[in-house]
Amino acid sequence: MRGVTLAEEKTIIEKMVGKFGTNMATVLKVTHELRKSDDATLQSIAGSLSMRQLLRIARRFEKYPDISPVSAIYKACLARFLPPLAKQSLDRVLADAGLPLESGLPPADTVRCEVKDGIVYLGNTKINVYQTGDSQVKVPDTLFYDNQQHARILEAMLQDFLLGEHLLLVGNQGVGKNKIVDRFLHLLNCPREYVQLHRDTSVQSLTLQPTVKDGVITYEDSPLVRAVQNGHVLVVDEADKAPTHVTCVLKALVESSEMLLADGRRIVHFSDGAKSKPNSVVMHPNFKMIVLANRPGFPFLGNDFFGSLGDIFSCHAIDNPLRESEMALLKQYGPSVPKETVEKLLAIFGDLRNLADEGLITYPFSTREVVNIVKHLEAFPNDGITSVLKNVFDFDSYNKENRKLLLSVLHKHGIPVDASPDNVQLARTFELPSPVWVGSWSIGKESCSLDCSVEMQDLHIKRPVSLPKLTTDIEKVEARSLHFSELQHYWILPYGTSGSTVDMAISPSRDGRSENDMVHVASNYPLGIFSFSPKHTVSSFLQLQRCFPPGYSSSSIKLTTLGGSLHGCLAVHESLTNTLLLIDPETGDASSIGLGSLVQKATEKFVRSLYNPSIPSVLCKDLSAKSLVAIYQPGRNNVHVLDMEQRYTLNWKLPVLIDQLFMADESNCVVVAGDTKRKYLLSWDEKDQLRNHRFSPITEEPAHQSTVYEARQLYKAGMDNLSPEALRRIAGPAVNASEAKVLMTEQDFASVAVGFPRATSDWQIYSYPRSVVPWGECTVEQSFKQPTTLPMMNSTVLVTAKPNSCVPKEAWPTEAASADSAGCLEVVNLNDQSVSYVPVPASRSTPNYLRDNSDVPFFMDVGCQDALVTVDNNGCVRSWELTPHKLKNSLAEWQKMMGTGQRLELNIEKKGKPLKGPKHGKEDPENAPHVGGNTWAGGTGGRDTAGLGGIGGPYRLDKGHKVHQVSDEEKQSVPPEVLKAAHEMAQKALKDRLAEIQMSEHDAALYEQLSDSVKRQVQLLRVILDSLQATSKERQWLKHQTSGELDDSKLIESITGEKAIYRRRGEQEPEVGSPQTKPKRLRLVVDVSGSMYRFNGYDARLQREMEAVLMVMQALQGFQDKFVYDILGHSGEESHLEFVKADKPPLNDKERLKVLQEMHAHSQFCLSGDNTLSAAKEAIDTVVHDDCEEHFVVVLSDANLDRYAIPPKKFANILSSNPDVDAFAIFIGSLGDQAVRLQRSLPSGRTFVCMDTADLPQILQQIFTSSLLRSAS
């Protein structure tokens, strides 16, 4: 029977509902687009938009016209629970129809939820409270905390209720389906009848309930029958658990209001009540049914209730509340639980739910678990969050892969699972030397001043241009998961393979809270600025290329944030061209600022005399918080002081050549002469700069004339005056001055100038000289660049970036620690007179041509609440806590997370026997467990022999027995010569193992490097493979049919009028979650053409392909019963290169490395050309020869088809050429948007773009589960 056309369906709907508007017309058009699609996935979605469902949507549009077409379609298709590929395909159809997709953000309006004057108000929908009479006891009354997301669901349910619909609520367990229904019925004051289904539910138990009265079994009406008779609401829970043939009896009840009961009675519609027979049960007009079901599939293992009966109900997808709603809910359950703890829990469970949606974990953790945790913390606040979380996650500890995944999420958010409270790794603190008075500085009388000239000009800011702005997701990772240190958390910016950091700046928040600061990081390749807030997971990227000539990229860009009316804006200075930009990162507007010495005016002879383009100019940003910046060029005598807020510039011409310059306050700056290194003070009147200004030499007088005085190499001054208490601690109790600033010099840990810079009398200088400390000389940098120092805590804490060469060896916790450090933060604390060196972790190496000329490969800035942030060359942004009182509070909170209860242990220690020397030990043929004895290999808790948990053995050897661990004290007592001998023996054993598999040490190191880059992805992929289920079908007798042969076991049911009493031969769908009986067949077709090697330096495509192949080989190890796979290659020379045979997969690291080396070598030396089509065609045609459950072909290739004039349509035809093969293409290389354009030209759901290996497990997971929806259709 043919389907109705669009015009016919429109006519039918209009006759039944009435004329409809554009919204319904759009839904109807999309429905027919889905129905006529050749894609089986889209056809299965179209099944949800049946004629009955379209009529329901039309009625909703008629009564509630504000509903959007997208939300109506999503609701009807239950789009929230569609597989990712199906959801993407549906969204693509909606986008092609010009419909805006839902953003996923909560609506801004507030939904009203209250009962007033006998009327229930839910948003803009209202209904009179139901009068229950004698059934008030059946009205549910449960504890329910209102939130906006649930209020919107309740309003949508009420709208359907008013339209006379029966409801179906589908969602994961624990999301609150029962709570929502009970709240809904409580608000309406409706009596409830409740029935819970299970796997053994029968048709008879749905309608009759056996009970025992006076020793006699009698049958009473079930809740279903009572609800029908009395007009109550029937709540059917766990509907997906019952067999489908049982729940199908509900279809007649909902559709025709009729149902035959097991005792011979018949339910009839209330309109037929007058002509009903004596054995009829008349349905009450108020009867409604609300059905609850879990989403289909693993781990609930229920039947697809929505697929079989979904269109006779008005469906609602119930999900976990959005973050704001869930936060409001949890705060009501745990009002005294700290907000930070609740936010941490929400972040953890948000990540876990995302992993469940992606199929990487099986159990979808719900609101129920979070509520239970918060209730526990509310009742027992001294229990650590670590131990409370174990109540939820201990079940997964038996699955090694799941445990690793869960631990990675918990550690990412700073939950110290498996950490010890004593594992505190704070930097060692050294005592500062006593402060000494080193002399006085003076500027003399006004007659000693030197002549200088100044011009005031208006600041010319050009009309802004709008810069391209992109957004990208970033992850915040807590760094205190296993130990406590000064490092709080970090982010990785998506630089790609060529990007590098050039500078950073922090825009302090207006409310003074560090989590609301904005971190700005400038990068090159591509040239732009990343901006993000520490509390958000989204970063924006502002492209700066439009502000510079084409192809321009520079490492000489400096950033600074501005204050006042320009708060949040950035001043961007490019030192080689002396270009200054004013940028608003929020809007993306950029304005060029005209300076008297800009390169674009270099044709003027005067300007050329002022500016030397071969010497970079310098941006002084000491007072950028007040929108004041200074620009000068070393070796010249010109200074430009710009007031960005008042929009004027002071152009100074000085009588000396400038080497360094820094601002002391709004009207004073210190100039260091380039030839003599002498210091000068440039000061001016803020109200009359042109006439009242002064340029005076600073005279330095030593404290003792007899000593040799070393002039201080001054490079910065603190902006805040020291408090009287801090000043007295440094200069003595007799010193009392209203003005005293901290000076940063290269010879001292810190210096203080009393009276600087405004006092007319001499400035007294007190210093903490480095030379006094035995190791102090090594902390002085020999670099030609001045150090980077940031003052904190009102200039009483100074943080300086130090290279490893300037860190005393006493500061390193171990000798090898410096190798893992990119440098250190020297923290000088004037309050407690201490200095410490905090190591900054090293990231991956950066090419030399991308590095800035700096001894420390990171940049830093400080925001609100003294929060210090560093960014290394590779885009790793780290947040630090360096002030003592904050570290003390954070350490207490960190230890509190593990619980305050004391652990009681009974330790029995026995002194071990002396060590003789490492040896392998004897092999026990019976593999019995051995503890100690110094004899057997593979024992535990012993000495000398190979095993686990002991001391003095050469290497670890696990034979599967329980491990007995010797104490740490005994381990530490092992003599050095024994440790050395054990190490040598272990190295020999490693070489023997490598020789056994013909693998050199270089090969092992290379393989380990490749393996480490995909270790996490292999773990995720193994979790996915472990959860795959059977999809093959078998021909067998299908029972509970309405046609076929009479089933002898259903004779009694046939007498009672049951219709499903037949059986017939057919293909039986496998039970959800059942194990595979046949393996799945996977063929990987990889591109090893010359372009892969040629453009590997551009986008690392060959590296990515090798990582993908290694990931598959490692992940499939041990899954031989589930997967048979081979790996074929193609290039310009060959269309069939056999890298891995199906019957001989690689068994060890050597064989896997050999596969990768063959791929790399062929790509390097093959001729150019392309055989993608022929290779894919041959792979698809031949893979079906193997008898397997499913057949998958995955083509890994770059998107270079257009170069060889290969039409996308031809490739698309090959991918869909065999219906028995699920063929897909993954593009892992692209020149520009080449891959994206090609993907749009190929069938939806068959192609993917993967420019990051981390995305591959999710792509493969979508590929492996794609056949489920097609088979369902």
- Assign 912 to helix, strand or coil: coil
Ordered DSSP codes for 48-113: TS-HHHHHHHHHHHHH-TTS-HHHHHHHHHTGGGS-HHHHHHHHHHHHHTTPPPP--SPPSSPPPE
Calculate the average pLDDT of the chain: 83
| Average pLDDT, integer, range 282-301 | 81
Assign domain 113-318 one CATH number from 3.40.50.620, 1.10.1040.10, 3.40.50.300, 3.40.50.150: 3.40.50.300
Q: Is 17 exposed, middle or buried (0-12, 13-18, 19+ CB in 10 A)?
A: middle
3-state SS class at 1257: helix
Residue range 1080-1272 in CATH 3.40.50.410: yes
Q: Is the pLDDT assigned to residue 826 strictly greater than 50? A: yes
Q: Which residues pair with 314 in a beta bridge?
A: 167
pLDDT at 35 exceeding the cut of 80: yes
Ranking 405-414, 550-559, 617-626, 686-695 by mean pLDDT, the lowest is: 550-559
Confidence of residue 817 (pLDDT cuts 50, 70, 90): confident
Span of 905-919, 1097-1111, 1154-1168 with lowest mean pLDDT? 905-919
For 898-947, where are the alpha helices, taking DSSP H only? none
Question: What pLDDT is stored for residue 1255 in this prediction?
Answer: 78
The region of weakest confidence among 173-177, 998-1002, 1013-1017, 1161-1165 is 998-1002
Alpha-carbon torsion 176, 181, 184, 185, what sign?
negative
**What's the confidence (pLDDT) of residue 1027?**
66
On the question of pLDDT at 108 being above 80, the answer is no
Q: What is the pLDDT of residues 258-290, one digit of tens each?
A: 888 877 888 888 887 656 677 888 899 999 999
pLDDT at 978: 65
pLDDT of 800: 94
Query: 390 in helix, strand or coil?
Result: helix
- Res. 514: pLDDT tops 50: yes
Query: What's the whole-number mean pLDDT along residues 58-73?
Result: 91
Mean pLDDT, residues 1221-1249: 82
* Residue 277 burial class via C-beta count within 10 angstroms: exposed 0-12, middle 13-18, buried 19 and up: exposed
pLDDT at residue 1247 tops 60: yes
Q: Report how far residue 591's alpha carbon sits from residue 547's, in angstroms, rounded to the nearest whole number.
A: 9
Distance CA 216, CA 13 (A): 54
The residue-averaged pLDDT of 186-192 equals: 94
CA gap 97, 416 in Å, rounded: 49
Please tell me the predicted confidence (pLDDT) of residue 963: 53
- Beta-strand ranges (E) seen in 349-435 are 429-431
* Token code pair at residue 344: 């941490």
Q: Cβ contacts of residue 475 below 8 Å, gap of 6+?
A: 412, 491, 492, 537
The answer, yes or no, to whether residue 851 has pLDDT greater than 90, is: no
According to the model, what pLDDT value does residue 707 have?
58
* Burial environment of residue 351 by CB neighbours within 10 A (0 to 12, 13 to 18, 19 or more): middle
Task: Please check the confidence at residue 1124 and state whether its pLDDT lies above 80.
Answer: yes
Per-residue pLDDT at 670: 94
Summarised one tens digit per residue, pLDDT across range 354-377 is 888 777 777 888 888 999 999 999
CATH class of 453-596+613-893: mainly beta
pLDDT at 474: 92
Question: In the predicted model, what is the mean pLDDT of residues 397-420?
Answer: 82
Who wins on pLDDT, 58 or 1003?
58
Judged by DSSP in three states, 393 sits in helix
In this prediction, residues 1238-1256 reach a mean pLDDT of: 80
d(CA 194, CA 289) in angstroms, rounded, equals 10
Residue 602: pLDDT over 80: no
Higher pLDDT, 950 or 922: 922
- In this prediction, residue 1033 carries a pLDDT of 46
3-state secondary structure of 804: helix
Q: Give the SS3 label for residue 1212.
A: helix
What does the pLDDT look like over 1156-1208, one tens digit per residue? 888 888 887 777 788 889 999 999 999 988 888 888 899 988 887 777 778 88
Distances (CA, A) of 662 to 654, 674, 714, 747: 15, 14, 9, 18
Cβ proximity of 581 and 587 under 8 Å:
no
User: What is the predicted pLDDT for the residue at 399?
Assistant: 73
Contact 1024, 1127 (CB under 8 A): no
Q: Per-residue pLDDT for 595 more than 80? A: no
Cβ–Cβ < 8 Å for 486, 797? no
pLDDT band at 63 (very low <50, low <70, confident <90, very high): very high
Low-confidence winner among 140-154, 1081-1095, 1158-1172 (lowest mean pLDDT): 1158-1172
Which strands form 679-684's sheet, in the order they lie side by side?
658-665, 668-673, 679-684, 693-697
Identity at 599, one-letter amino acid code: V
Confidence of residue 156 (pLDDT cuts 50, 70, 90): very high
Polymer length in residues for the chain: 1273
In angstroms, rounded to a whole number, what is the distance separating the alpha carbons of residues 969 and 971? Answer: 5
Mean pLDDT is lowest, of 417-431, 455-469, 1028-1042, for 1028-1042
Looking at the predicted structure, is the pLDDT value of residue 198 above 80? yes
End-to-end CA distance of the chain: 18
State how far the alpha carbon of 346 is from the alpha carbons of 351, 361, 392, 474, in Å. Answer: 9, 18, 14, 17
Beta-carbon contacts of residue 559 (< 8 Å; ≥ 6 apart): 503, 504, 505, 520, 522, 529, 570, 571, 572, 573
Q: What angle do CA 928, 929, 930 make, to 5 degrees?
A: 115
Comparison of pLDDT for 850 and 579, the residue scoring more: 579
Both structure tokens of 604: 């003027």
Q: Which residues pair with 698 in a beta bridge?
A: none
Mean pLDDT along residues 1061-1086: 70
* Contact by Cβ (8 Å): 729, 711: no
According to the model, what pLDDT value does residue 600 have? 41
Higher pLDDT, 317 or 1065: 317
Give the tokens for residue 55. 């009529």
Higher pLDDT, 703 or 940: 703
Distance CA 437, CA 665 (A): 24
Higher pLDDT, 1165 or 139: 139
| pLDDT above 90: residue 1074 | no
DSSP, res 143:
-
Instruction: Label each residue of 508-534 as H, E or C.
Output: CCCCCCHHHCEEEEEEECCCEEEEECC
Which pLDDT score is estimated for 798?
Answer: 95
